[in-house]
Structure formats: C-alpha cells, structure tokens
Chains A and B, each alone.
Chain A
Amino acid sequence: MINTYQKIKKFIFFDTYGMISLANFLICAVSGIFLALVYDVNNAYDSVSLIMISNPMGSFMRNIHYWSAQFFLIFSLLHLWEYFRTDKPFRLKRGVWLRVVISIVFIFYVMISGFILKADADSEQARRIIESLIISIPFTGELLNFLFLGNEGDYQLIYVHHIATATIFIAVIIFEHARTIWTKLPTILAAIFIVAIFSWLFTAPLHDGLNPIMKGPWYFVGLQEILHWLSRPGYSLLFIMLLLIAIYYFPLIKKPKVKLIRKSIYILFILYFILTIIGYFFRGENWKWRWEFWEASTPFSLNIISSDDILKTTVTIPQALNKRESCLVCHDGMKGFSEAHNPEAIGCVSCHQGNAFSIDKDQAHKGMILIPGNLADANRSCGTAQCHPDISNRIHKSILTTMSGVISVDKYVFNELEKPEGLFHVQDLKQTAADNHLRDLCANCHIGNPKTELGPITQLSRGGGCNACHLNYSEEAKAELESLQKYKPDSIKYRFHPSLSLNITNEHCFGCHSRSGRVATSYQGLHETKFRAKDIEDWSNYTELEDKRVFEKMPEDIHHKAGMLCIDCHTSYETMGDGSLHEHKESQMQVNCKDCHFNGPARTILKSELDFENQKIIEIREYAQNEFLTIQKTGKALPNTFINTDGVAQLISKNSGKILELKSPHSECTRNAHKNLSCESCHTAWVPQCIGCHNSFEKETETYDLLDNKLIKGAWIEYAGEYFADLPTLGIEETNKMQNYIRTFAPGMVLSIDKSEYTNKKEKESFHRLYAPTSGHTTMAKARECKSCHNHPLAIGYGRGKLEYIIQDGKGKWKFKARFAKNKYDGLPEDAWIGFLEECNDLRATRTNMRPFNLEEQKNILTVGACLHCHNDKSTIMQKSLIDFDSLLKQLSEKCILPEW
C-alpha cells in the first residue's frame, strides 16, 4: 500500500518541487514570448478576445501560458514549504534568503499582473483592489502604486513589469539560489505534457463583462473572502508583511519553537485553503452565498479547437458593446429585431449569455439562456446594469409578479389570515391549505412564471417575464420556428428572430386577464359560459377560446370599439410597477377615467419635464407633441395623450396611431348628488358574475402544481355555480380621506370550503360572502338608468329578485322577494351581498376598507327609488333632485308617499 502511494507520488512529483517549478517557469516564459506577438497592450481586452475567437493556436498558447504560470506558483510554494518541513541545516546565505523571500512578492506580482493584463471586468476590479491596498500603505503608498501599477486604465507599465522587470528578477533569484536555470530534459518534457493536457481541456478564463460574478484569481479568492469580512482592509497588508518577515526569520529559529511555527503555518495554510474553496465555489453574485455546488462558477470550459473551417471564411470578428462576439460569426444577418435590440448594437450575449469567446458551437452555447427575459434570470439578461436595471427592480415588486392581493384574499377565506391584508409573494407560497389551493388553481398567472418553450405569446401563455408583454413573432419567424421543430436544428440557418418591442397587443394580456375578473374578455365583449363546443349549434353569438372555453358575445367596451388597446390606458408604471410593493391591485393602478375625461383646464406636463421612461417611450414611438396629459394620482404623463394645436385633448392609440378625441363627461356626471360615484358605477354595461362556488380537496386526484410546474397528487376541486353577465352591484370604498366613494362590485369570494380531507381533520366547512371591487371594462357611453340602481335589488346588494315599492293605505313600503334560495351557511340568498334592509357589521368585501351599503345608505337609495316609482328619471323634478335632493324632500306634494321603514 505504502509502495503504491510512493509510486503514485513519484509519478506525480516526477522531480523536486523546485525543479518542477523551474520547468513551468521556463514553459511560461517561452509561451509568453509567443503570446506577446499577438497581445496588444493598447487594446488589451480586444486582443485577448480576438486570440480566443480567431486564433486557435494563439488560444492554445495562452492556455499553456496560463497553466504553466499556475503550476509555477503552486510548485514554488511547495518548494518553499520544503524548506520549512525539513530539519536539515539551512544552506542558503542570509542575503540570498532575503532575496528569495522578496521574490515571493514578485512571484505574486507577476501572477496578478498577468491576471490584470487580460483587461476584463475581473481584472479591472482586481486592479482597483490592489491599487486601494497599495495606496493605503502610509507615506509610500502613492509612490508604490505609481511604480508598480502606473496610471489607471494604462497597461503599459504593468506589461513591462510583467514581461521584463519581475520575470527577470525571478529568473535571477532562481539562478542565484538554485545555481541553474535549466532542468533535466525528462522534467521539462513531463511538465510540457501535463501543461498541454490542462491547456487542451481547460480554457484560461476571460470575463465577458456581463456575468455579474466578480472574482479574483483563484489564489486570491481566499484573500477576497477575508477582505469581505474586513472593514479596514489595510490590516491585511500588515499581516502579509508580518508573514514575510516570519518566513525570513524562520531558518534562524531554534528547534523547540520550530515545530510550533511549522504547525501554525500549516494551520494557516489549511484555513486559507478552506477560505479559497468557500470563495471559489460558494460565493456568487455580489459575494452572496451560493450553495449550489454544481452551479459553481468554474471559469474553465472544454476547449476543442475545431473552428478552422469557419475562420477561413470569416474576415472580421464582429463587435458589440465594445467587445468581440463570436456568436455573430455564425448567426450573422438575422432579421426581425427592434432597433434597440439589434445585435449590431447589443450583440447576442447581452440577452442570451453563453460564451462569446469561442467559435466552437458547443463551447459557445455553454451556459446560454435560450429564452431570455424570464424574471428568474432577468438580472442576467434584460435587467443588466447596461440595459433595464430600474425596470428589473420594479417588475419584481409589481403586483403582476407578487399576486399579493390574490394570495391574501385566498388565505383569508381559508381562515389563515384575520384580514385580507398584507404583502405576499407567490414565490413564498408553502403548503398550507390556501397555498395548495393557489398552487392548484391560480399560481401560474404571474409574470415570474417562466416561459420555457419557444413561440409567440398565445391565449394559453402564462407569465414569461419580459416576454409576457414584449415578445412578438413575425410571420417569417413563426414559419421558421415551425420548420425548426420539424427538422434538425443544424439543418437550417436561423434568419428571423422574434422581436422585443413596445408593440404590446391585447393578445399579450389575454392569457392571464381572461380569467378571474376576466377583464380581457369583457373588454372585447365576451362573456364566459359553462357550455362546451359540442353544446353550440349556432356559433353566430358564441366563440371558443384556445383553452376550449365557450364565450357568449356581449356588448364590447366603447374603448375597444374605438380601437383602443389595453396599453392605451395602462401605462408602463401601472403594469411594471412603480417600485413599491402593493397589497392589492387598485393600489398599483394609477390611471383613472377622469385623467382623460375631464371638465375645465387640462392637467399637462411638458415634454422637457417628463421622466426618463416616458421620454424614451415618446422617442421610440416618435411622438412629435410637446405637451401631455398627466395622471392625477402620480403626476406622471399619459404619454399617448396630448393637447393638439386647437387646444383639444386627444389620444393616440399606441400601436395603430389612430387619433381619438377625449370627450368631457356629461353635465349630469358632475352634479352634486353623484359626486362621490365612480364613473364605472354608471357606465359599466355588465360584469361577469359567478355565484355558489364550493371547494373541496381530493387526495387521490392528480393535478398540476402551477407554481412548481409539476404533476402532483391531491387536487382542489372547484364546483362553480351559475355564470351571469349583469350590471354590477354598487358598494362603498372608504378612502383615506374618510370619504365614502361608490364603486362597482361583483361576487368575488362567495364560496364554501371543505378542507377536512386536506388537513386530515374533521373540520366544519367554512363559508365567506365576499364581494370584490371590480372594474368591468365594459364601458358604455350612456349611463345606466336611475332605476337600475335605486330600484334594483342587484345594484343595492340584495341579489336578484323582485324589489317592489308597495303603496297601501297611504303608506309606502319596500318589499323584496329573492330569486335564489337561502344559503345554508348564512341564510342569505345565494347571490346576495347583504340581506334586505340589513345592517351589516362583518367583513363582506375582499378589502377591509370596502363594504356594502349600510342601512342608512340603503334607505337613502330606496327613498330616491320611491320617487322614481312615480317620476320619470328625465323629469324636471328628478333632474332637480340631482342638485339638491334634501330641499326637494321639504316640498313634497300630498301625492308623494315616502317609504316607511
């Protein structure tokens, strides 16, 4: 056993450490000469990247230079250790030993200067760190920095020291203490063989300027870890200085203490080795912990030199963002990009990552992101510091990403929260009953849901990060994609790239927003039914979506009819967020009907005062206007609205360029009686409504976990009741200013839940009757009639049925007969929000600041309803009532009979 170990050791360490070190020094020096022929100190990074891409032999020689240098360092340190570990008498004179100790500094200098000379992002940071450390040396710091590093950004002095000063010094020291500068032939041949193997297998690193991970050379990664703990890093220099002094005095120390010092150095070495492993494998972006060992960022990759054919036909290696990109050698002439994303400007690596310094396909594609733009890797694609970092920060907080409101309301109905409030994030869902329910039914409708397959955004798409809104395939790109799916990828040369642009269509929003509140379908005038295609014979009034749901045709939104898109109202700050976290969607929403439909002077902002994002939007969309309307809530511009030369407010539909006039609200809208009514309260034609929903868990049923994207056992089954498309119910939002604001509501969470099979406990079914604030997106120009609110049970919250004002014996009384049976849990009709003339004290809305009308408010509404029982809503008296109803009540005629309660 021991013999075998000795044999292996002898095979690996074929000569003394000193001689192996010397052999590597010689290889390094000779390969350095070859490298110097193609290295350009004035365009250092460019010349190194060109060597890697277009000069296979040069690249190989660079690897030889790199690997021989690493082995030289390792074996020099082992050689030094040999002096420490033997008890043999020290043979070197003190002067020679002093120079050997100084040469340690030069060895590290020649190594780090080589690292700096590749002039990539790692090198730049390393140079800055070393510069800071040297300058922190008292009195001489500035001078030493000038002598060793020279001026910032200038590599000339470092280059001279690297190839001459330091190298010559080391050579002299080697000769002085070894009495030779040559090794035995077998030693140098063996060293060449090993270095060549490493050089063939592992490419010397070069940072692409985009990878956010910044690391020094491996031998300083341990130091980087130490420095990360030190607020005053200058002390590390003091420690290094003391270590060098200790090394110098070591041979003079007498025997009993030698063992202790030897042990101490050994322990220090082990500690540094551990720190190096930590720094190298377990530190990632911004020096944060990265435990995934298999993802450790090893800078080496297999290098197969097989690119001669391509290079013979390639004249120049294209540049993008001031660096070479080998990708463009093969993927040249691609079309379809938006101007900002043209590869001639930003290359391929900015979005797709991969290796820009290799002409070999496998090597170049290593680490590539096939579909960039997903939020998980947004910071390495769309959100890099050079591109859209501010949006990347915002989008992570957008409610489109967090789903905060959906989660808090669901948790509340599952009795996991006391109130439907708080900030939540879909990625934080665990496995509570509510979490599991969301995973089963809702958790894919968020922007963070990754897009994993190529192809355009369709009705079936969910999420996809930046792609969700900005990805578009041209017809050519679609056709090419279809061919690529039929034939082998290499058989066709890619020509058409999908574009990422501001061309956001309603189809982009459709996938997610055709569900739940269903604003996307309602906007187009489509109402979901429970039919299946087989049930429909005459399709003239129906349509089938890609997910096989059948929708009935209803009146479309007036804005849709006018050709407006979702993005014509909803701005970038509404959709991608304003940088703050929001509990519910209405908090993130900014635009209001009144921003476009106003009386009096317009609130405007000049082009020169616009924020950067809106300026950019206006620039890309080529709007020539100078003055834009603003959103009252934020003061930011609605970048597609403006005041024309005649002083008329207009809107440009963003994609079509169609100009629409912005109309002022009707005079009735602004009269006293309805001043606290939202525009939607009167102008919503219909909202989709669903009642009588029951949820239970089935342990053995297979389902799809929408968050983790995998099949699991145990599904939540939703038994939906009836679907309606009716006028919305009205209710109250209590605003911060303690004002009551009337807005539209629809049954949001009127449902019972049986979670006993999920929790494995016998639990009573829970029931909630929560209405949710809704924005119908079915705007009609004409307002709903007075009676549709004041005399309508659904509008007031009683549900469907017959609401009658009965006058008998000179007395008036309101009576209500519900259409639906009483719910077994709370005794109210299935579709009701409140009981008839009920004072409701419990939470009945999905927001704590919203509620149905209280008893007094119901009486007020019904009192007007009593008037409307006799008076036409267009009558003078009713028109007058809009201005001052209370004074009219004091002038009642004998015929007027007000309700008794």
Chain B
Amino acid sequence: MIKDHKRFGIANRELRHINDIPNGLSIQDEVIFFKKENALKIYSSRCTHLGCKINAIEENELVCPCHGSRYNSKGEPVKGPSVKNLKQLSFEIDKSTNELVIQL
C-alpha cells in the first residue's frame, strides 16, 4: 500500500540522473540507496527490529544505532537482533521534473 510519496533531492541539489546517487550504499533522509553500476534499489531506513532510523554504514553494511542490527546491501539482516529484511521501496523518475519519486 502506498502510504506516502516523497520527492528527494540529492545532496541539496536537484536530482538530474540516476547517477547523482553515489555508488554502493548511501543514506538520504528516510531512504537507503544501493546502487551498483546502473542498478538501483531503494530501501526504507526503518530498522525492521523496532523501527529505528538506520543512519550509518560500516564495512558496506547498514547499521542500526539503537540496538546494533546490521544489514547487507541486499537489505538482509546479517547480525541480530533484527531477523526481517529491510522494506524495499518502489520508485520512478518523474520525467517532467527529473526527480526521484519514491513510494514510502
């Protein structure tokens, strides 16, 4: 179910192209990007353990600051306490504004 739409600018500037997102894992507000070559996946930054906002990347893993859950770049938990995958979000590029529209 689509709860909300959110438009993201990257690093305080207009998102012009998918390449505006850094390679590998990056966190932007409420979402996490994983870009490899030209493939992009977007996850919710909400930890599936207790909903904390994931805000750190260590050793190519996403780390939850509250209880230390770690996820790999596929959004799969690799270290507890979390056991569920991160929620993957669908998105599209709004061609009229060149912005990324993510379904939260």
Contact = CB atoms under 8 A, between A and B. Distances in A.
Secondary structure of the A side of the interface?
helix
Interface string B15-51: 0010111111111000000000000000000100111
A856 to B, nearest CB: 43
B59 interface: yes
Interface in A372-391: 379, 385, 389-390
B52 to A, nearest CB: 5
Interface string A217-236: 00000001001111111000
Given A227-B50, A229-B81, A393 B19 contact: no
A784 interface: no
B83 A214 contact: no
Contacts of B17: 608
A668 interface: no
A615 interface: yes
A610 interface: yes
Contacts of B6: none
B53 interface: yes
A860 B24 CA distance: 48
B60 interface: yes
B51 A128 contact: yes
B68 A286 contact: yes
Contact of A286 (B25, B53, B63): B63
B56 A385 contact: yes
A229 B49 CA distance: 11
Interface residues of B, number: 32
Nearest to A215: B66
Interface stretch (A129-137, A644-652, A832-840): A129-137
Interface string B57-76: 11110011111100000000
Interface string A598-634: 0000000000111111010000000000000000000
Contacts of A132: 50-51
A231 B65 contact: no
A287 interface: yes
Contacts of B23: 390, 611-613
Contact of A129 (B19, B52, B58): B52
Contacts of A231: 49, 80-83
Given A125-B65, A131-B51, A615 B57 contact: no
A153 to B, nearest CB: 11
Contacts of A131: 51
A393 B67 contact: no
B40 to A, nearest CB: 12
A385 B60 contact: no
Given A125-B66, A214-B66, A615-B20, A389 B56 contact: yes
Contacts of B82: 231
Given A125-B52, A212-B56, A287-B66, A230 B81 contact: yes
Contacts of B60: 393, 579
Contact of B66 (A224, A390, A609): A224
Contacts of B63: 286
Contacts of B50: 128-129, 132-133, 227, 233
B85 interface: no
A851 B83 CA distance: 51
A124 interface: yes
A604 to B, nearest CB: 15
A163 to B, nearest CB: 26
B58 to A, nearest CB: 7
Contacts of A482: none
Interface string A127-154: 0110111000000000000000000000
A236 B63 CA distance: 23
Contacts of A233: 49-50, 81
A91 interface: no
Nearest to A612: B22
Contact of B52 (A214, A288, A389, A393): A214
Contacts of B25: 390
A390 B68 contact: no
Contact of A125 (B22, B26, B53, B59): B53
Given A230-B81, A393-B59, A611 B19 contact: yes
A213 interface: yes
B81 A393 contact: no
A390 B68 CA distance: 19
Contacts of B49: 227, 231, 233
Contacts of B103: none
Contacts of B21: 612
B39 to A, nearest CB: 14
B55 interface: yes
Contacts of B46: 128
Contacts of A288: 68
B86 to A, nearest CB: 14
Nearest to A129: B50
A613 B35 CA distance: 13
A285 interface: yes
A124 B59 CA distance: 25
A65 B85 CA distance: 41
Contacts of A228: 67-68, 81
B93 to A, nearest CB: 13
Contacts of B56: 212, 285-286, 379, 385, 389
Interface in A419-458: none
B66 to A, nearest CB: 5
Nearest to B77: A231
A613 B21 CA distance: 9
Nearest to A616: B11
B52 A385 contact: no
Nearest to B22: A612
Nearest to A390: B22
B51 A124 contact: no
A128 B53 contact: yes
Contact of A609 (B19, B22, B81): B19
B36 to A, nearest CB: 11
A285 B65 contact: yes
Nearest to A578: B23
Contacts of B65: 125, 212-214, 285-287
A345 to B, nearest CB: 8
Contacts of B26: 389-390
B52 A128 contact: yes
A438 to B, nearest CB: 25
Contact of B27 (A124, A379, A385): A385
Given A128-B51, A385-B27, A612-B21, 9 more contacts: A124-B53, A128-B52, A129-B66, A213-B65, A230-B81, A287-B65, A288-B68, A390-B23, A579-B24
Interface of B: 17, 19-27, 46, 49-53, 55-60, 63-68, 80-83
19 contacts: A125-B52, A125-B65, A125-B66, A128-B46, A128-B53, A131-B51, A132-B51, A213-B65, A214-B52, A214-B65, A227-B49, A227-B50, A231-B80, A231-B81, A233-B81, A286-B68, A385-B57, A389-B26, A393-B60
Interface of A: 124-125, 128-129, 131-133, 212-214, 224, 227-233, 285-288, 379, 385, 389-390, 393, 579, 608-613, 615
List of 7 A-B pairs having minimum Cβ-Cβ separation, nearest first: A287-B68, A132-B51, A612-B22, A214-B65, A128-B51, A228-B67, A129-B50
